[in-house]
Amino acid sequence: MPVATARTVSLDGAVGHLVTIQADVSPGQVRVDLVGRVDQALGEARDRVRMAIINSELDWPATKRVTVLLSPADLHKRGTHHDLGIALAVLAAEGSIAPELLAHCLFVGELTLDGSLRSVRGVLPMVLAAREHGITTVVVPEPQAEEAMMVPGTTVFGVRSLAQAIAVLSGQPLPEAPPVVRSAGANLLHWRGSTRHEDVDLADVLGMDDARFALEVAAAGGHHLMLSGPKGAGKTTLAERIPTILPDLAPEESLELTAIHSLAGVLDPGAGMIVRPPYSAPHHDASKTSIVGGGSGQVRPGELSRTHAGVLLLDEFPLFRRDVIEALREPLENGEITVARAEELVTLPARTILVVAANPCPCGEHRPDVGKDTCRCKPVALREYRSRLTGPVADRIDITRHVQPLSPHQRVDRFAAREDSATVRARVEAARARQAERYADTGWRLNAHATGVALRDRWPLTASATRTLDEHVVKGALTNRGAVRVHRLAWTVHDLDPSSTGAPGPAALDVALRLRQGRPLLDSTVRGRECSA
């Protein structure tokens, strides 16, 4: 028999690579060889596939030599989702099914010993990769058919077993098979941060005009934000309302984020594409792997990637482990995270709005601003705590705001104007539309994505504003990295003003510097937001 060919996809992070499975059944020493840089889990496919074929009452070449090549041979392949493609290629090489039935199809699924299928992680990015190579017909485990159908222009067949897959290919009635059992990873359907922002609104927040404006700027330009202040001041209350002022995801963002959740095993296919920005607030004892991604075997996305195009709140930031804090440098700077393993280098998108919140001291009672300091922290503990809020990571955070508790008057002022999230979101959407037009010929969507070189060359500040910014760098008040972030902030402040034209000038730069350095905003700035509503 000629060599039979089937196709599947191997994942490298969220990027899929088309894999060609070639099976040869010929006389020789009775053995099964599986070659092509396969990992241990995939190497065990020879036994799973053999027993699945036998127990499905199909012909296994028991007296011949079976050789299966997964190419390209230099690509490291991992995962059990190759099983279905391997089994079909062997059956086609043996002559049990016509080899031409496998042409132009993608096969994904893990086999059990009785020939049933099990669901796997990452079906959506696999189908996306197949479409890029012109393959528009896919066969997947039944529970993940809805997930595969999210890719436009794709014909999807959801099956429960190897026998059903053969029936679909040959146009025969489907034999009976028990429902597919979801894998442990695929059962994690209800991610804790996915709907957190649906029951809160910015109108719930009393006062805090300065901090509210900072939230609006962060949402409009995709800027990272640090909120500091005594316990109970409202830092978490503010942070968890940022998703409510973010617009719906763009189609490409939605597809990208949904693929990441599929890879992580936390996607609910029945809910369709993710259209709202995600939100997550992991506890401060979270591990580095859970935040940035990793794990044994196939790399799984962490919270930074799961909240891509959304909001990640690290509350009680100084209490996070130091290795977690230091690991934030790359994603805060580049918008992506690279996880290295012995034979694997995976890069995942991580353009989240990072919000870090911290008390002024471990006990949260440090209040020198009101002349009543009841802090009980020892000096050594206080220095260690505050050291987490400075240095390279802090330099990568665009906006710093100190949140003060409400005064008794603010708490009882029933006539104080409070904008709701919908009103602020409309301004954010308008500002983002201006950015989308400006960066239309680039790969960026928001001001926070633009590089310093591009801003200087193509979108500079006015001459007077540029001189002022350069003076801050020369005096040591800003690092070069800080100057780039102030430049981005100035553009976002400019974009939020519907009457602004040209390049950002001294007024926008002054607001950007205040946001960056944690200095209070001028009353006219806050009032300007209210007047433009």
Q: What is the pLDDT of residues 11-40, one digit of tens each?
A: 887 788 999 999 999 988 889 999 988 888
Same domain? 235 vs 368: yes
Q: Is residue 218 part of a domain?
A: yes
Higher per-residue confidence, 360 vs 332: 332
Same domain? 50 vs 79: yes
Tokens 């996809």 locate to: 9
Same domain? 248 vs 391: yes
Domain region containing 51: 4-185
Q: Give dist(CA 202, CA 240) in Å, integer.
A: 9
Q: Give dist(CA 64, CA 33) in Å, integer.
A: 12
Same domain? 157 vs 18: yes
Identify the band that residue 364 occupies on the pLDDT scale cut at 50, 70 and 90: confident
Same domain? 152 vs 25: yes
Min mean pLDDT across 254-258, 266-270, 486-490 is at 266-270
Task: State yes or no: pLDDT of 368 exceeds 80.
Answer: no
If one counts the domains in the chain, the total is 3
Same domain? 360 vs 302: yes
Give tens-digit pLDDT for 97-154.
999 999 999 999 999 999 999 988 889 999 999 999 999 999 999 999 999 999 989 9
Which pLDDT score is estimated for 443?
87
- Cβ contacts of residue 263 below 8 Å, gap of 6+? 11, 13, 14, 121, 122, 124, 125, 300, 301
- Mean of the pLDDT values across residues 266-288? 88
Which pLDDT score is estimated for 190?
38
Task: State yes or no: pLDDT of 302 exceeds 50.
Answer: yes
Q: Is residue 441 part of a domain?
A: no
Same domain? 181 vs 202: no
Identify the band that residue 185 occupies on the pLDDT scale cut at 50, 70 and 90: very low
Same domain? 235 vs 112: no
Q: Is residue 303 part of a domain?
A: yes
- Residues 475-484 as b/e (b if ≥16 CB within 10 A, e otherwise) read eeebeeebbb
The token pair at 320 is 């996070």
- What is this structure's pTM? 0.84
Q: Is residue 378 part of a domain?
A: yes
Q: Is the peptide bond before 72 cis (omega within 30 degrees of 0)?
A: yes
Q: Is residue 142 part of a domain?
A: yes
Which pLDDT score is estimated for 370?
56
Residue 400 vs residues 58, 228, 521: alpha-carbon distances, Å: 66, 8, 11
CA 281 from chain centre, in angstroms, equals 14
Same domain? 354 vs 488: no
Q: Is residue 531 part of a domain?
A: yes
Same domain? 228 vs 282: yes
Say what percent of the chain tops pLDDT 70.
Answer: 89
- Mean of the pLDDT values across residues 367-382? 71
